[in-house]
Amino acid sequence: MTLAVEEQVASPSEDALVEFRMPSLGADMQDGTVVEWRIQPGASIQRGDVIAVVETDKGAIDVDIFTSGRLERILVPVGEKVPVGTPLALVRGDAGAAPPTPIAAPSTPPPSPPQAIQPTSAGAAEHAPSGRLRVSPLARKMAADLGIDLAAITGTGPGGAIDRADVERAAQAAQRIAAQPTLVVRPPSVAPQVTRATAAARQAAMRRAIAAAMARSNREIPHYYLETSIDLQRALAWLQEENVKRPVTERLLPAVLLLKAVALATRDVPEMNGFWTDDQLQPSDAIHLGVAISLRTGGLVTPAIHDTDLKSLDELSAALRDLVLRARSGGLRSSELSEATLTVTNLGDLGAEKVFGVIYPPQVALVGFGAIVHRPWAVDGLLGVRPLVTATLAGDHRASDGHRGSRFLAAVERLLQQPEVL
Amino acid sequence: MTHTSAAAIRNVVVLALGRIAPEADLSALDPTADIREQLDIDSVDFLNFVLAIHAELGIDIPEADYGKLRTLESCSAYLGARQVA
């Protein structure tokens, strides 16, 4: 996963001129399109500000910037699809602004060499052959379904061809002008018909991207799998007691306890947390747990909660709720999608008892939780019934082994027996 | 706290569901069937739903009462009754 979105460019002035690049938002992402610039050249920016919105297979992502400073120049205009790593803008960083520690590139081939990208010229300069519009078959079908006039669209594909994204943008623009929502609950700018057509196209693209990433993961990563059943009696009893004392706005979910336990267990067994690059494990000091969220519209996203181990249960709860809301309705940030150091997949109450997942490269482990079920259990030598959850670990055998993996799951179990200190 | 009509309560419930499940076609929701099953929502979604109801109607729904929110109809009935109390 490339996280080196900024890089020092040699400059005679004291303030560093930093390149802000198209971020990689997952091992499966090849390219993205800026659909909106949120700031203009000359504007001052703070670290964490959302400065652009990028369209990817995973939908529209808010791209937040690592450094503070001033936007010097925009290099890639709205509507242009560029490979991951392409410089999008120049930022004059505050003196002393340092780029993030580069996490080495994934084992996929690097993005197309720069000569294939001429942000200011090639795409716009070429024109379609006279008479016939160049349109991709999918785009043509989408335009027909949506009643969009192809002649009115400017293509941004190779040679000025119209692709799916061009049609989607035209459709959204048309809807903003025309549509009235059929049901008061719908976001005002999107009518149901457009949502279904664009959602279907996006779903197909996301599925392909996920398929590629998962196939690559199984191909390249030697997985080993461990499972353990964890008695959650104490944790759930504590949770119930706590929630009765708390207002609804501060209610805690079991999922939050599980996440915190995993984050703290990672401190004990750090080889679960980091990236496999250049034939070795690059452990991460920070623990940013990726949370797998299954999208009902199709596909999966795994945004990260930064510094999971440092957050209180209340902070984690608020972060998780906010993340899920934004995953469902748009508004996930690039820093969330690209910075998970270890991913947790939780099937939830209606799910299967256990899940053995596929590791998201270049991460080196995946933690799974099944549904909480009541089962017979040995309690002080007698038969009782306890709420159990099956915790699983998929580990990269290059980075760790069964023994270390077992220690990790044992740590998770131990932590869940003392919920009050989570 | 002002008394909200049954229709308005129902509207608030539907609006809250729309926030947590923006992709769903709520006009097709069966008011007598299990909401979680119909919409395939998880525990985080459900908590966000409960919080949205609280924000709109000022009603704090304790965990013990979650079972009464099973269907659209039972939601409306429960919230209507809670208001009067």
A258-269, pLDDT tens digit by residue?
999 999 999 999
**Whether A324 and B45 lie within 8 Å, measured CB to CB:** yes
In the set A49, A223, A401, A403, the catalytic residue is A401
Tell me the shortest Cα–Cα distance from B20 to chain A, in angstroms: 6
Using CA atoms, how far apart are residues A99 and A168, in angstroms rounded to an integer?
34
CA angle A41, A44, A45 (to 5 degrees): 110
Residue A118 pLDDT grade (very low, low, confident, very high; cuts 50, 70, 90):
very low
Number of residue pairs across A and B with CB atoms under 8 Å? 73
Give residue A106's pLDDT.
40
> Is 90 exceeded by the pLDDT of residue A167?
no
Buried b / exposed e over A353-388, threshold 16 CB at 10 Å, is ebbebbbbbbbbbbbbbbbbeeeeeeeeeeeeebbb
Peptide bond into A158 cis (omega under 30): no
Using CA atoms, how far apart are residues A54 and A387, in angstroms rounded to an integer?
43
Q: Tell me the DSSP string of A167-230.
A: HHHHHHHHHHHH---SSTTS-TT--HHHHHHHHHHHHHHHHHHHHHHHHHHHHH--EEEEEEEE
Using CA atoms, how far apart are residues A67 and A256, in angstroms rounded to an integer?
30
Segment among A5-14, A40-49, A241-250, A311-320 with least mean pLDDT: A5-14
> Is 60 exceeded by the pLDDT of residue A188?
no
Give residue B32's pLDDT.
94
**Whether B23 and A297 lie within 8 Å, measured CB to CB:** yes
Residue A131 pLDDT grade (very low, low, confident, very high; cuts 50, 70, 90):
very low
Higher pLDDT, A388 or A108: A388
How confident is the prediction for chain A on average, in pLDDT?
81
**Whether A243 and B40 lie within 8 Å, measured CB to CB:** no
CB A220 within 8 A of CB A277: no
- The enclosing H or E element of A377 equals strand A373-379
**Whether B47 and A348 lie within 8 Å, measured CB to CB:** no
Spell out which residues of chain A touch residue B11, defining contact as CB-CB under 8 Å. Answer: 184
Give residue A313's pLDDT.
97
Which one of A243, A324, A349 has the shortest CB-CB distance to B48? A324
pLDDT 10s digits, A385-408: 999 999 999 999 999 999 999 999
Residue B78 pLDDT grade (very low, low, confident, very high; cuts 50, 70, 90):
very high
pLDDT 10s digits, A262-289: 999 999 999 999 999 999 999 999 999 9
Buried b / exposed e over A301-318, threshold 16 CB at 10 Å, is bbbbbbebbebebeebbe
Listed in sequence order, the residues at least 6 apart from A378 whose beta carbon sits closer than 8 Å to its beta carbon are: A384
CB A6 within 8 A of CB A87: no
Spell out which residues of chain B touch residue A328, defining contact as CB-CB under 8 Å. Answer: 20-23, 45
Global pTM reads 0.73
Tell me the shortest Cα–Cα distance from A40 to chain B, in angstroms: 31
Tell me the shortest Cα–Cα distance from B44 to chain A, in angstroms: 6
Give residue B44's pLDDT.
96
ipTM score above 0.95: no
Give residue A122's pLDDT.
32
Q: What is the biggest distance separating any 2 CA atoms in chain B, rounded to whole angstroms?
A: 34
What does DSSP assign to residue A9? E
Is A397 a known active-site residue?
yes
CB A329 within 8 A of CB A187: yes
- The enclosing H or E element of A122 equals helix A122-125
Choose among A159, A96, A163: nearest CA to A125.
Answer: A159
Spell out which residues of chain B touch residue A389, defining contact as CB-CB under 8 Å. Answer: none
Tell me the shortest Cα–Cα distance from B13 to chain A, in angstroms: 10
Residue A163 pLDDT grade (very low, low, confident, very high; cuts 50, 70, 90):
confident
Is A309 a known active-site residue?
no
CB A393 within 8 A of CB A367: yes
Top-confidence range, A3-17, A113-127, A179-193, A194-208: A194-208
Spell out which residues of chain A touch residue B20, defining contact as CB-CB under 8 Å. Answer: 325, 328
> Is 50 exceeded by the pLDDT of residue A161?
yes
CB A46 within 8 A of CB A18: no
> Is 80 exceeded by the pLDDT of residue A4?
no
**Whether A349 and B43 lie within 8 Å, measured CB to CB:** yes
Spell out which residues of chain A touch residue B44, defining contact as CB-CB under 8 Å. Answer: 253, 255, 320-321, 324
Using CA atoms, how far apart are residues A87 and A74, in angstroms rounded to an integer?
9
Chain B residues touching chain A at CB-CB below 8 Å: 11, 14-15, 17-27, 36-37, 39-40, 42-45, 47-48, 50-51, 54, 60-63
Which one of A182, A185, A329 has the shortest CB-CB distance to B14? A185
- Which residue out of A248, A297, A329, A347 would a mutagenesis test of the B interface target, given it has the greatest number of B Cβ atoms within 10 Å? A248
Closest residue on chain B to A350 (Cα): B42
Q: Tell me the DSSP string of A71-103.
A: EEEE-S-TT-EEETT-EEEEEEEPTT--PPPPP
Give residue A23's pLDDT.
87
pLDDT 10s digits, A305-337: 999 999 999 999 999 999 999 998 878 998 888
**Whether B22 and A243 lie within 8 Å, measured CB to CB:** no
Question: Order of strands, edge to edge, in the sheet holding A50-56?
Answer: A59-64, A50-56, A31-37, A81-83
